[in-house]
Amino acid sequence: MEKRTVRDVDVAGRRVLVRVDFNVPLDPRGRVADDRRIRESLPTLRDLLERGAAVVVMSHLGRPGGRVVEALRMAPVGERLAQLLGRPVHVLRDCVGPEVEAVVARLQPGEVALLENLRFHPGEEANDPEFARALARLGDLYVNDAFGTAHRAHASTVGVAAHLPAVAGLLMEKEIRYLSRLLEGPDHPFVAILGGKKVSDKIGVLRNLLTRVDAVLVGGGMAYTFLRAQGYGVGRSVVEEDKLDLARDLLDLARQRGVEFVLPEDVVAAERPTPDAPRRTVLAAEIPDGWMGLDIGPRTARRFAEVIEGARLVVWNGPMGVFEVEPFAAGTRAVAEAVARCPGTTVVGGGDTAAAVEQLGLLDRFDHVSTGGGASLEFLEGKELPGIRVLQDR
């Protein structure tokens, strides 16, 4: 998949409208608590500014539902962006309208403006044509660098591209390049590690990857649905009862394709997912009644590590247990360290997995950590993302 990028266009003296994903967490005082998504956008913004563009940045923040929510204004994000860029950022109080157009028209090359929260307007999520036209009036060129929202057909991700030349930013280019490597002629051995709570969240990904990978390692809550589908008792562990037949179908598909499908041999079980709950390591098939599996056990972690360390390509999406609670974080930590040691190419999905590796201080040990949760999953399912489809082909 080859899309034109900011490198392919002359931006000197032009106003460039850039869609970024600044949907960052704020702390109780209203300040940016985690600026990773802002930092990921810096290469694109600096490239445009250094080449003489005036840059108009737009993003959503939270879920205000089409109305103004004071706690979700972009001002704290603009403050952090200015610090990281080392230059002033004009933070506007709206994202469309005559006043916004007047400020943007006065921008000089090398200056930056940040629009107010796009989702304060219902036209954003509705992909309203008039709202998209109003946004498009703010630029001469459109750049989408927001992979995390590329699976949404909104005005700022799809609608604007009908009115302006549309190219990918450097982060979008990087996401497409690494995720495409997993689907188009991947290196072998290719190992997929899937975790998280539900099988239903990963059905499409599993079906698509089972045609490409050599091994699938399954942990997290979703593992217990597969274990139950094989006839094991799993106590009070999370099980999607309506997905048991599907789990059997996926196991059959893996056998037919010759894919090694590795489920937990042992788990850390407890009465409840709290730090003080009684817990012990048991065989996956011997979880006591009334207890629940909350992490993979040490034997499983060693088995997973053996498979991972022999891979030339690894994709990991979903933690191995309730990693937010320390007694149940060891499995996710062991897998993260194994992936970090892997000599092959390593790609980590977004969302909880990215949060886990950042919490473990391993973020820089992987070749690519995606900024998109839902977007990366849909990409791995083989879906064409609307925010990518509208960008110009190379």
Round to whole Å and give the CA distance between 150 and 116: 20
Round to whole Å and give the CA distance between 244 and 250: 10
Beta carbons within 10 angstroms of residue 364's beta carbon: 9
Choosing from 123, 159, 351, 373, the catalytic residue is: 351
258 CB-contact burial (10 Å; exposed 0-12 / middle 13-18 / buried 19+): exposed
Asked if 18 and 137 touch (Cβ cutoff 8 Å), the reply is: no
Asked if 191 and 303 touch (Cβ cutoff 8 Å), the reply is: no
Provide the β-strand partners of residue 368: 347
Task: Assess whether 198 carries a catalytic annotation.
Answer: yes
Task: Assess whether 65 carries a catalytic annotation.
Answer: no
CA-atom Rg of the chain in angstroms: 23
Task: Assess whether 351 carries a catalytic annotation.
Answer: yes
Choosing from 110, 204, 310, 374, the catalytic residue is: 374
Round to whole Å and give the CA distance between 214 and 269: 29
Task: Assess whether 202 carries a catalytic annotation.
Answer: no
Choosing from 3, 15, 37, 333, the catalytic residue is: 37
Round to whole Å and give the CA distance between 200 and 204: 8
Choosing from 4, 36, 137, 198, the catalytic residue is: 198
C-alpha of 182 from chain center:
15
Catalytic site positions: 37, 198, 351, 374
